[in-house]
């Protein structure tokens, strides 16, 4: 059982914002302090300040070693998952630090947290009551073994471990522990709804091929960085699987971007390609790019796509609710040395993006003598007639 002395708790409180590496080197100065525990808790609180802000403010929360904290969901994605399923009973078969379980459990009358690492179970058993989650039952067991004998519940959640025996990160479903594709039928015999968190690097088409009972897909990005691929399994398979492309923002002033489409709809959608640029340029958010909703967004928002492989769009009029970044085009030029000099000679710094262009960002920076940053955005891309262009923009 984890015990933290009053002296160590005071040390944690007084040094919560200090560099943990520097503190570790000063351990001999504090003989009465359990320094390994203090370092773990201080490091945990520092990660939580950004990743789990509502927990950071609670002094009595205990934190695990770095790897478990690194692998856990952020609060913002856990809260989103909690919106997707409610009912009487929930079982989390891969409990970990307990972030997902704690937020999911708020929508259920009873919940069971299953985790094979004893230390993580002790931390969860300590934290859940502090969070007023007294309806969560903590079980120190192997998730697959527990699954085989458990009573049916309304919802099962799994976040398979994505590290191999050497500690390296894995992506494929078959390389994860447990292999949810092999467990699919057993999972659905124990729950009407199964939610699986997978690597954002996983090819969606491969995931849909392996998981035969997929009902919904949710691709989650935070501040335009793809974080999670969620697969929801159910007893019935829909004719067309809804793919939710979601971009969440940590700033409360920004509303989430949410676009839903199906792969069949993507094939049916009309998409116009252009050989000229209009007044505005649109870059879809990371979830849309991951999902491949290229034709669907062109049809829904009435924008023109620069090229089948460019994944940038343009329009004459401003489309405020486009799910991505929106720019006003200042000018554009070819990759010709003379035109580049005429249109970009005044630039010393810019934010450079490459989409379907025969040069890397680093190569462009070197050629254009640019440093990173500023209020100017350059997009190097290709139009439908094959012309290579550099588009100078400012953010709307």
**E strand or H helix at 395, and its extent?**
strand 388-395
pLDDT at 230 over 90: yes
Is the Cβ–Cβ distance between 225 and 249 less than 8 Å?
no
> Which of 225, 218, 172, 177 has the alpha carbon at shortest distance from 199?
172
- Average pLDDT on 176-187 reads 93
What percent of the chain has pLDDT above 90? 77
Average pLDDT, the chain: 93
- DSSP secondary structure of 323-392: SEEEEEEEEEEES-HHHHHHHHTT-SEEEEEESS-SS-HHHHHHHHT-EEEEEEEEEEEE-TTS-EEEEE
Residue 343 confidence (pLDDT): 87
pTM above 0.85, yes or no: yes
> Which of 198, 260, 251 has the alpha carbon at shortest distance from 222?
251
Lowest mean pLDDT among 61-65, 83-87, 162-166, 288-292: 162-166
Lowest mean pLDDT among 1-15, 43-57, 236-250: 1-15
Residue 171 confidence (pLDDT): 66
pLDDT at 305 over 70: yes
Lowest mean pLDDT among 166-170, 214-218, 249-253, 278-282: 166-170
| pLDDT tens track for 144-178 | 999 999 999 999 999 998 755 545 555 678 888 89
Our CA angle for 382, 202, 212, nearest 5°, is 120
Residue 177 confidence (pLDDT): 85
pLDDT band at residue 337, thresholds of 50, 70 and 90? confident
Please name every residue paired with 136 in a beta bridge, in sequence order, or none if there are none. Answer: 111
Residue 131 confidence (pLDDT): 97
Residue 271 confidence (pLDDT): 96
pLDDT at 227 over 80: yes
Is the Cβ–Cβ distance between 262 and 240 less than 8 Å?
yes
- What is the Cα–Cα distance from 20 to 110, expressed in whole angstroms? 38
Residue 1 confidence (pLDDT): 61
Residue 164 confidence (pLDDT): 53
The torsion of the CA quartet 385, 388, 393, 396, rounded to 10 degrees, works out to 40
pLDDT band at residue 58, thresholds of 50, 70 and 90? very high
Q: Which has the higher per-residue pLDDT, 171 or 65?
A: 65
What percent of the chain has pLDDT above 70? 97
- Average pLDDT on 250-265 reads 94
pLDDT band at residue 277, thresholds of 50, 70 and 90? very high
Is the Cβ–Cβ distance between 232 and 84 less than 8 Å?
yes
């Amino acid at each position: 059982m984890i015990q933290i002395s009053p002296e160590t708790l005071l040390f944690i409180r007084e040094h919560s914002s200090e560099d943990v590496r520097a503190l570790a080197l000063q351990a001999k100065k504090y003989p009465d302090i359990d320094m390994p525990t203090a370092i773990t808790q201080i490091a945990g609180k520092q990660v939580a300040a950004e990743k789990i802000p509502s927990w950071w403010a609670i002094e009595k929360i205990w934190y695990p070693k770095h790897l478990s904290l690194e692998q856990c969901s952020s609060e913002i994605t856990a809260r989103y998952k909690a919106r997707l399923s409610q009912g009487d009973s929930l079982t989390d078969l891969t409990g970990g630090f307990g972030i997902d379980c704690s937020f999911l459990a708020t929508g259920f009358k009873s919940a069971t947290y299953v985790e094979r690492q004893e230390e993580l179970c002790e931390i969860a058993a300590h934290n859940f009551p502090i969070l007023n989650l007294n309806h969560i039952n903590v079980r120190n067991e192997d998730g697959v073994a527990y699954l085989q004998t458990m009573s049916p519940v309304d919802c099962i959640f799994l976040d398979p471990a994505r590290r191999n025996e050497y500690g390296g990160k894995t992506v494929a479903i078959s390389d994860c522990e447990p292999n949810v594709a092999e467990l699919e039928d057993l999972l659905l015999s124990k729950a009407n709804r199964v939610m699986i968190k997978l690597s954002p690097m996983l090819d969606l088409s491969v995931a849909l091929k392996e998981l035969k009972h997929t009902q919904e897909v949710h691709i989650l990005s935070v501040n335009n960085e793809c974080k999670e691929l969620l697969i929801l399994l159910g007893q019935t398979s829909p004719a067309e699987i809804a793919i939710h492309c979601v971009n969440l923002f940590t700033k409360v002033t920004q509303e989430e971007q949410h676009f839903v489409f199906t792969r069949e709809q993507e094939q049916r959608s009309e998409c116009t390609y252009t050989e000229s640029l209009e007044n505005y340029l649109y870059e879809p958010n990371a979830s849309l790019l991951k999902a491949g909703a290229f034709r669907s967004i062109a049809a829904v928002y009435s924008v023109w796509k620069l090229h089948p492989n460019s994944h940038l769009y343009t329009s004459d009029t401003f489309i405020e609710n486009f799910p991505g970044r929106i720019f006003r085009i200042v000018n554009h030029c070819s990759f010709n040395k003379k035109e580049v000099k005429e249109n970009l000679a005044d630039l010393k710094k810019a934010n450079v993006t490459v989409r379907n262009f025969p040069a890397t960002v680093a190569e462009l920076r070197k050629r254009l003598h640019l440093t990173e940053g500023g209020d100017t955005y350059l997009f190097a891309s290709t139009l439908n007639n094959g012309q290579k262009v550099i588009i100078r923009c400012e953010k709307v």
